[in-house]
């Protein structure tokens, strides 16, 4: 199965196992897929030996909460994939509960057949992984504590009080917050939810949360909030509540590299005879896309909006001043 389908099948399993009784239409709406796809996923669960039940009268599917996937013997590829993730990749992404993941990997490794264990050990010694251009934030115990508290608050639908230091102005604010989802994006964990201070859905970076406490108060799910639509409008993870039509002209030196990649679902590319590329986006907010544009230096011209061009100009002037003084 493809990675996205594996995730969806496992989410269906955990949803039904949590005691929820869902129709095919419920699952279709929940995961943004067709009814036909949901039926295929249910067949996949059946093939895995998951004993779900369907009420023929109401069309609701459910799984006994006491059911759990039975232990299984791992083949060579399965074992290698898990050990690679825990032993290699976990050091290069901000993975919560890293020590627990490494301990789990050791337990898995110790229970493998000797032949598979030796093979995995040999292969892993000759695999090196490097992060992308995003810097990996140093892991700390505070991050694990905040992550665990947010997990619990999301599961119990409980409000939290958080103290947050803004990376833009370095000011600390206190916010009462209804956490909806945890999101990993571009090397950083965020929590999405409704902020009492802003009276709207906001995203906060976990690394900038200085303190987090449970309030003991519960909240009701926002049925109108769709996380996929919320993120879809932003350049990356943080929409700002205002849409912009961004038009950028990339010079021939970088035009091919830019045009070959899909940076946003609204992307439109027009190639010019001189080798340059006109690239257009419709995005919510300018803060995130500003730094992406800056990464291309003098090989890109901002045609619109004027506010983005002004941001780029001011940053460029400050770069010159700082380096001249140095």
For position 107, what pLDDT does the model report? 76
User: H-type helices in the chain, by residue range?
Assistant: 3-17, 24-31, 35-47, 76-87, 98-110, 114-125, 141-156, 227-233, 252-260, 287-294, 306-325
For position 140, what pLDDT does the model report? 66
Distance CA 256, CA 4 (A): 29
For position 296, what pLDDT does the model report? 95
Q: Give the strand order in the sheet containing 209-218.
A: 200-205, 188-195, 172-185, 158-165, 209-218
For position 72, what pLDDT does the model report? 55
pTM of the complete model? 0.60
Distance CA 326, CA 321 (A): 9
Tell me the mean pLDDT per 10 residues along the chain, length 326: 63 75 85 86 81 84 66 70 71 72 75 80 76 53 88 92 82 91 83 89 89 92 80 82 94 94 92 96 93 94 96 93 81
Residue recorded with tokens 């590299």: 257
Q: Torsions phi, psi of 280, nearest 5?
A: -125, 145
Residue from 254, 251, 234 nearest 242 by CA: 234
For position 44, what pLDDT does the model report? 84
Distance CA 55, CA 171 (A): 54
pLDDT tens, position by position, 181-207: 988 877 788 899 999 988 888 889 898
Q: Torsions phi, psi of 284, nearest 5?
A: -95, 110
Q: Evaluate whether 299 touches 268 at the Cβ level (below 8 Å).
A: no
For position 66, what pLDDT does the model report? 61
For position 258, what pLDDT does the model report? 94
């Amino acid at each position: 199965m493809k990675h996205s389908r594996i995730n969806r099948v496992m989410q269906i399993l955990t949803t039904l196992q949590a005691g929820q009784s869902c129709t095919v239409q419920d699952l279709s709406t929940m995961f943004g897929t067709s009814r036909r796809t949901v039926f295929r996923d249910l067949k996949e669960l059946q093939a895995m030996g998951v004993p779900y039940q369907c009420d023929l009268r109401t069309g609701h599917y459910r799984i006994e909460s006491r059911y759990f996937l039975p232990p299984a013997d791992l083949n060579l590829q399965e074992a290698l994939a898990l050990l690679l993730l825990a032993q290699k990749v976990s050091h290069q992404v901000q993975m919560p509960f890293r020590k627990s993941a490494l301990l789990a990997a050791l337990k898995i490794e110790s229970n493998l057949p000797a032949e598979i264990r030796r093979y995995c050990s040999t292969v892993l010694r000759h695999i090196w992984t490097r992060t992308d251009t995003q810097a990996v934030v140093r892991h700390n115990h505070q991050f694990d504590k905040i992550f665990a508290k947010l997990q619990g608050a999301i599961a119990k639908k409980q409000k939290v009080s958080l103290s947050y230091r803004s990376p833009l102005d370095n000011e600390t604010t206190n916010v009462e917050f209804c956490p909806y989802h945890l999101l990993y994006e571009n090397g950083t964990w965020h929590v999405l939810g409704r902020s009492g201070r802003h009276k709207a859905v906001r995203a906060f970076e976990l690394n900038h949360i200085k303190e987090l406490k449970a309030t003991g108060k519960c909240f009701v799910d926002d049925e109108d909030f769709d996380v996929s639509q919320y993120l879809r409008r932003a350049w990356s993870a943080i929409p700002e509540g205002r849409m912009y039509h961004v038009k950028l002209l990339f010079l021939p030196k970088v035009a091919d590299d830019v045009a070959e990649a899909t940076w946003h679902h609204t992307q439109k590319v027009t190639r010019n005879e001189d080798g340059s590329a006109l690239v257009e986006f419709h995005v919510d907010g300018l803060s995130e896309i500003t730094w992406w544009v800056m990464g291309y230096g003098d090989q890109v011209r901002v045609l619109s909006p004027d506010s983005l061009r002004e941001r780029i100009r001011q940053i460029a002037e400050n770069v010159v001043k700082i380096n001249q003084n140095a």
